[in-house]
Chains A and B, each alone.
Chain A
Amino acid sequence: MSFAKSRFKHKSLPVNDLGLTYREYEGAISTLCAGCGHDSISAAIVHACHELSIAPHSIAKMSGIGCSSKAPNYFLSNAHGFNSVHGRMPSVTTGANLANKDLTYLAMSGDGDSASIGLGQFAHVVRRQLNMVYMVANNGVYGLTKGQLAATSDKGVRNKTGELSLFNDIDLCTMALQLGASFVARCFSGDKAQLVPIIKAAIAHQGFAYIDIISPCVTFNNHEGSTRSYDYVQEHVTTGAVTDFVPIKEEITSATPEGEFEDICLHDGSIMRIYKLDQDYDTSNRLKAMNDVEEHKQRGEILTGLLYLDPTARNYHELNETTDMPLNQVKQDLLCPGERVLGTINDSFR
């Protein structure tokens, strides 16, 4: 059994603006099952952060409980991290974000952590428009407790032991859309060409970004009849558009792409470039996005890609008009300006 990956690396690995290769963004070697989709998500996060040249120490990895929430150990060893109580990651992240809004918050959660025990927390953090990337590794089962059906399982499927899913599934993308998330996407862990640019865009997006990632559980939900197995997803996955992320510094003309595309300018000046596969595809229409998800589901397809994006939405700090300076940097004399200021405030109420 290998407990470590060799330090040796390819001699021509590209370095980013910080002079780092992607290897410096890795974490500990995974102890998840071999072939777990979550490991692909970890790898996608590693590459996204490396390509964006984010300093690892300016990232906070937030998670709850579950296989998905173990995953942050397997990427970004040099980032901050908080492995919180089951389903309570959104509250902890809200607190952290309030104290230091300068960090990039990457949250990893699962279908149990977000759609069952933490559903209430999930709903409210969406409403709050917290500036974070909320990723759910969605495999339809509780892998850590040996494969019970999760709330995101499709109605009518059976788990590995034959238990039938009697109830309607919770679609977290539809929920996020309904509750006002300004960035909503669905991806497949096995398709990094789609996943990496979407994670990059979600990080660049200044607001609440939700990514639902179908991530097959190779041990408990990869059997025939499962709608979250590698085979099923690869066969039924569909997308309305191919998306590419163009960072601010890159000149738009650098790679003249083939075919027609549409650019969406994000808050920080970077660009989400969209090559439509479906002429009907539209990222600015929330109601249509909700409709599309459901329509594809009825057809037996899994719609992936960027579903909705509102680059102009205001996030929690903007809505609350918090100070520009992160609260953890505000000095004592500013926080407690003293009796004189209190007197002035009290006077204003008289």
Chain B
Amino acid sequence: MKKTDVSNYDHYLKVVDCQQACPAHTPVPEYIRLIADKRYSDAYMINWESNVFPGVLGRVCDRPCEPACRRGRVEEEPVAICRLKRVAADYKDDITDRLPKAPEESNGKRIALIGAGPASLTVARDLLPLGYHISLFDRDQQGGGMMRSQIPAFRLPETVLDEEIDYILNMGVESHFGSAITSMHKLLQENYDAIFVGTGAPKGRALNLPGHEAAQPQISIGIDWLANVSFGHNDKAPKRVVVLGGGNTAMDCCRTAKRLGAEEVKVIVRSSYEAMKASPWEKEDAKAEDIDIIVNHNPTEFVVEKGKLKGVLFDQVESFYDRGGNRVLKNTGETLLAECDLVLVAIGQDTSFEWIERDIGLDFNDWDQPCLNESTLQSSIDKVFIGGDAAYGPENIITAVAHGHKAAISIDLFCQGKDPMQRPKSDFNLISQKMGMHEWSYTNIIDHEQRNLVPHISWQEAVKELATEVELGFDEQLALEEAGRCLNCDVHTVFTESTCIECSACEDICPTDCINFIDDIKDDITPPQQLLKGKLKVDKATDEQDYFISDNLQTGNIMVKDEDMCLHCGLCAERCPTGAWDMQKLTLSNIEATIK
């Protein structure tokens, strides 16, 4: 069979499920080990280098790493990675002297960043230490973009946000807050060497149902309403509020309304509870705060009485999936009138490019999104780069950060007159963790404890004040317990064919039956999944990881390891008499360049 290619980092990075799943490839196990060692500042810096906003993301990240976590395959629940990130941010010391500084002499290149959200701020952070001059523009009075305007303070305290934005602004950004850019044409005339557009998806979708116009004063677009609350223009909510939509914005709307005095808050969605787009923990928190989530109801009309909104009328629906996998709604015939004083519409948001003239050479596709080179985020005007939600529509903060890294590399190459498609190399290193006969420099004993829950303040307390943070974060003891659950997937089982004597000790000791020694199959073309079916001790349970296939051994047999279930416990290496197995830690250099 075809040997697994381990001449580059691809196979190894994929094995580190969390790091692979993180759009910015944050070295998760590395910082969790530092937390376990109580080295919070070091853990913070590892995070800061790759995801720029550890304190923010430790609270409000979408956590793509957690569903990917290996722990979810070998037991039930993943490691609480996100909340451990917050631990690093909460318990760190002053790290300002560890931050990179802009060189005294500029390199003479001037970059304009439009929008001061996570994508632009990442570009600024990556380019400032290289000597670029950065001009940052935002229509709001403060930086942060959607992190400030759309995420309420009870989930993300302002101090945390300010701190991490200031780390970047203080590196020497020339910022222009409160100044909206209204013409790309004009901007292009100015003397910038490159322009980065990180304007997000700031336009909330409206719901034009009958009665919309008459009820207009009592209908708000969710993200606009949240922004008004955030900037202090709005500090009250009426008694009865209905929120339409089932995403995280809807959850933020309903919980904010509750804190601004609403007594009866209902979230009404078309889908089932499970199909709601909001993160499971957001839904749980909303329910815990006594918010009514009504599912399977499709809005049909804003009911107006005497010129005022009376409520919203819904059809009850059943949703099912047709053969093509599309969701189909079927009315049950029942209707529901939800009486209310305010409707918050949180059914999605879009990018907004009214300010980019369509005759200046910047191409847009059929969906009115700018045409971009996916590898470089370069637009059809070579000095304009677009990232974050503005690039491909609403995603999340960590994706915006990843875009920022990618665009910064492109801009740097472009400004040096190089081709942005020729991405810089990222090297990798594997370092043995062996300390003695059966001693490793990482904790290889598997912790069987279940996931720890993050303590919350009581919901009665929580809803009293908008700025009261609901999650208290892990205390040190819980943090250390949770950190102990990490399986250290970045410590790899590295196999050397030439030293293997085929004694089968590793095969016998492996707790999860990953390792197999089998007769070679003379077929390099058929996919391994097909070839290996029924040939291994236990068939693969998922397709999340690949097989790790060795070269022919002395007898001609091959070693096949199922990377799905490996616990990285190192027992194979402990039982190996010749050191053919070794536990080696993966370190990627230039992680930003690994973002594809």
Tell me the complex Cα distance, A7–B449, Å: 11
Report B563-596 residues with CB < 8 Å from chain A CB.
Answer: 565, 567, 569-571, 574-578
Interface of B is mostly: loop
Q: Is the CB of A10 within 8 A of B503?
A: no
Per a CB cutoff under 8 Å, which of B439, B503, B577 touches A40?
B503
Cβ contacts under 8 Å, A190 to chain B: 502-504
Q: Name the segment of B102-110, B278-286, B300-308, B505-513 touching the other chain.
A: B505-513
Cβ contacts under 8 Å, B508 to chain A: 39-40, 42-43
Cβ contacts under 8 Å, A43 to chain B: 504, 507-508
Q: Is the CB of B574 within 8 A of A1?
A: yes
Q: Name the segment of B12-20, B268-276, B440-448 touching the other chain.
A: B440-448
Report B431-462 residues with CB < 8 Å from chain A CB.
Answer: 437-439, 444-446, 448
Cβ contacts under 8 Å, A40 to chain B: 503-505, 508
Cβ contacts under 8 Å, B571 to chain A: 2, 5
Q: Is the CB of B513 within 8 A of A13?
A: yes
Within 8 Å of chain B (Cβ to Cβ): is A6? yes
Q: Is the CB of B574 within 8 A of A10?
A: no
Within 8 Å of chain B (Cβ to Cβ): is A290? no
Per a CB cutoff under 8 Å, which of B448, B512, B513, B577 touches A35?
B577
Q: Is the CB of A9 within 8 A of B511?
A: yes
Q: Is the CB of B538 within 8 A of A35?
A: no
Tell me the complex Cα distance, A251–B530, Å: 27
| A1-B437, A6-B567 given; A39·B538 CB < 8 A | no
Within 8 Å of chain B (Cβ to Cβ): is A8? yes
| A34-B576, A40-B504 given; A12·B541 CB < 8 A | yes
| A1-B439, A190-B504 given; A9·B512 CB < 8 A | yes
Tell me the complex Cα distance, A9–B576, Å: 21
Tell me the complex Cα distance, A14–B537, Å: 10
> What does the 1/0 interface line of A30-58 toward B look like (CB < 8 Å)?
10011111011011000000000000000
Tell me the complex Cα distance, A349–B554, Å: 73
| A36-B505, A39-B508 given; A1·B569 CB < 8 A | no
Within 8 Å of chain A (Cβ to Cβ): is B421? no
Cβ contacts under 8 Å, A2 to chain B: 438, 444-445, 569-571, 574
Cβ contacts under 8 Å, A13 to chain B: 513, 538
Within 8 Å of chain B (Cβ to Cβ): is A142? no
Within 8 Å of chain B (Cβ to Cβ): is A296? no
Cβ contacts under 8 Å, B514 to chain A: 10
Tell me the complex Cα distance, A30–B516, Å: 20
Tell me the complex Cα distance, A9–B439, Å: 23
Per a CB cutoff under 8 Å, which of B501, B555, B565 touches A10?
B565
> What does the 1/0 interface line of A113-145 toward B look like (CB < 8 Å)?
000000000000000000000000000000000
Q: Which residue of A lies closest to B73 (CB)?
A: A11
Cβ contacts under 8 Å, B574 to chain A: 1-2, 34
Cβ contacts under 8 Å, A36 to chain B: 503, 505
Cβ contacts under 8 Å, A11 to chain B: 73-74, 541, 565
Interface size on B, residues (CB 8 A): 37
Tell me the complex Cα distance, A33–B565, Å: 26
Q: Is the CB of A234 within 8 A of B502?
A: yes
Within 8 Å of chain A (Cβ to Cβ): is B539? yes
Within 8 Å of chain B (Cβ to Cβ): is A192? yes
| A1-B439, A33-B577 given; A8·B503 CB < 8 A | no
Cβ contacts under 8 Å, B359 to chain A: none
Within 8 Å of chain B (Cβ to Cβ): is A66? no
Within 8 Å of chain B (Cβ to Cβ): is A170? no
Q: Is the CB of A8 within 8 A of B567?
A: yes
Q: Is the CB of A192 within 8 A of B577?
A: no
Tell me the complex Cα distance, A218–B508, Å: 16
| A13-B538, A190-B502, A234-B554 given; A6·B575 CB < 8 A | no
Tell me the complex Cα distance, A13–B539, Å: 9
Tell me the complex Cα distance, A33–B438, Å: 11
Q: Is the CB of B569 within 8 A of A6?
A: yes
> What does the 1/0 interface line of A2-33 toward B look like (CB < 8 Å)?
10111111111110000000010000011001
Tell me the complex Cα distance, A7–B439, Å: 20
Closest chain-B Cβ to A21's Cβ sits at a distance in Å of 10
Cβ contacts under 8 Å, B322 to chain A: none
Within 8 Å of chain A (Cβ to Cβ): is B75? yes
Closest chain-A Cβ to B527's Cβ sits at a distance in Å of 19
Tell me the complex Cα distance, A222–B577, Å: 11
Closest chain-A Cβ to B350's Cβ sits at a distance in Å of 42
Cβ contacts under 8 Å, A5 to chain B: 509, 511, 569, 571
Cβ contacts under 8 Å, A42 to chain B: 508
Q: Is the CB of A8 within 8 A of B75?
A: yes
Tell me the complex Cα distance, A209–B505, Å: 26
Q: Which residue of A lies closest to B438 (CB)?
A: A1
Q: Is the CB of B503 within 8 A of A35?
A: yes
Per a CB cutoff under 8 Å, which of A4, A8, A12, A39 touches B74?
A8
Cβ contacts under 8 Å, B570 to chain A: 2
Cβ contacts under 8 Å, A219 to chain B: 577
Closest chain-B Cβ to A49's Cβ sits at a distance in Å of 15
Cβ contacts under 8 Å, B541 to chain A: 10-12
Q: Is the CB of A8 within 8 A of B511?
A: yes
Within 8 Å of chain B (Cβ to Cβ): is A231? yes
Q: Is the CB of A216 within 8 A of B511?
A: no
Q: Which residue of B lies closest to A216 (CB)?
A: B503
Within 8 Å of chain B (Cβ to Cβ): is A230? yes
Q: Is the CB of A230 within 8 A of B505?
A: no
Cβ contacts under 8 Å, B538 to chain A: 10, 12-14
Cβ contacts under 8 Å, B511 to chain A: 5-9, 23
Q: Is the CB of A34 within 8 A of B505?
A: yes
Per a CB cutoff under 8 Å, which of B73, B503, B554 touches A218?
B503
Tell me the complex Cα distance, A190–B503, Å: 6
Tell me the complex Cα distance, A40–B73, Å: 28
Q: Is the CB of A34 within 8 A of B448?
A: no
Tell me the complex Cα distance, A5–B569, Å: 9
Closest chain-A Cβ to B67's Cβ sits at a distance in Å of 17
| A2-B571, A8-B511, A39-B508 given; A231·B501 CB < 8 A | yes
Cβ contacts under 8 Å, B575 to chain A: 30, 34-35, 39
Tell me the complex Cα distance, A145–B503, Å: 22
Tell me the complex Cα distance, A146–B574, Å: 21
Cβ contacts under 8 Å, A29 to chain B: 509
Q: Which residue of B lies closest to A218 (CB)?
A: B577
Report B531-551 residues with CB < 8 Å from chain A CB.
Answer: 538-539, 541
Closest chain-A Cβ to B364's Cβ sits at a distance in Å of 48
Q: Which residue of A lies closest to B513 (CB)?
A: A10
Tell me the complex Cα distance, A52–B505, Å: 23
Tell me the complex Cα distance, A34–B581, Å: 12
Q: Is the CB of A7 within 8 A of B577?
A: no
19 contacts between A and B (CB under 8 A): A2-B445, A5-B509, A5-B569, A6-B446, A6-B448, A7-B511, A8-B446, A8-B512, A10-B512, A10-B513, A30-B509, A35-B503, A35-B575, A35-B576, A39-B508, A39-B575, A43-B504, A219-B577, A231-B501
Binding site for A on B (CB under 8 A): 73-75, 437-439, 444-446, 448, 501-505, 507-509, 511-514, 538-539, 541, 554-555, 565, 567, 569-571, 574-578
Known A5-B571, A10-B565, A12-B541; further 14 A-B contacts with Cβ < 8 A: A1-B437, A1-B438, A2-B445, A5-B509, A6-B512, A6-B569, A11-B73, A11-B541, A11-B565, A13-B513, A13-B538, A35-B503, A190-B502, A222-B501
- Sort A-B residue pairs by CB-CB distance and give the 8 closest, nearest first: A35-B577, A6-B446, A43-B508, A1-B438, A6-B511, A230-B501, A35-B503, A218-B577
